[in-house]
Structure 1
Amino acid sequence: MAHTTGKTKTMPYSLAEQLRTPEEIAAYLDAWLAEAADDAASIVRALSDIAQLKDMSHVARDAGLSRESLHKALSENGNPSFATVLEVARALGVRLHAEAA
């Protein structure tokens, strides 16, 4: 549903429409890694966004976790281990990468 405010027409943002392919998912996560490199909670939030779109139950199974454990790890107060982050990334079909600062 579009909203018109004066001369500007706005549309609701749908992350699901932006993250349809593995390349789009990788670009989304890469943008978070670039913009929030010092903010682990923001990077976990990005993983959570993607996991929710991909179906948390399937991601949990592919990462070798229970759905509850994955949800807790990726929650606002979650503090997943680096191993969990790597397993979730693998389950989402993406890899983290490094570059010189």
Structure 2
Amino acid sequence: MPYSLAEQLRTPEEIAAYLNAWFTEAPDDATSIVRVLGEITHAKGIEQVARAAGLSRESLNNALSENGDPSFATVLKVARALGVRLHAEAA
């Protein structure tokens, strides 16, 4: 059976754990973090996430594309739409 990200990320807790793993793995690689956020968004359904974030599907898709460069406000909206919050901790 092929791997399905959507099946692995059913709850906000699972999404948060996946994002935190990427923050740990590549803390300074914004491109990878945006790519992972895009993968999660597509796995959850881009239409649904865009609607919950108050964004158009097209603008969200562009922001999270390979060449996308989303604003921090967009990242926060997407995180909220996915049911997670970003937080800081001492380095």
- TM bracket (short chain): over 0.9
Give unmatched runs, 5+ long, in structure 1.
2-11
Give unmatched runs, 5+ long, in structure 2.
none
Q: Which has the larger radius of gyration?
A: 1
The residue type paired with residue 86 of structure 1 is L
For normalisation by structure 1, the TM-score amounts to 0.84
Deviation at 1:88? 0.5
Does residue 36 of structure 1 match 2:64? no
Does residue 17 of structure 1 match 2:7? yes
Over the aligned positions, Cα root-mean-square deviation in angstroms equals 1.1
With CA pairs under 8 Å and 6+ residues apart, which has the higher RCO, 1 or 2?
Answer: 2
Q: In structure 1, how many angstroms separate the alpha carbons of the residues matched to 2:85 and 2:46?
A: 18
Q: Which runs of 4+ in 1 moved over 4 A?
A: none
Q: Alignment partner for residue 47 of structure 1, among 18, 25, 37?
A: 37
For normalisation by structure 2, the TM-score amounts to 0.93
Alignment coverage as a number of residue pairs: 91
Identity, % of aligned positions: 78
In proportion to residue count, which structure has more strand? Answer: 1
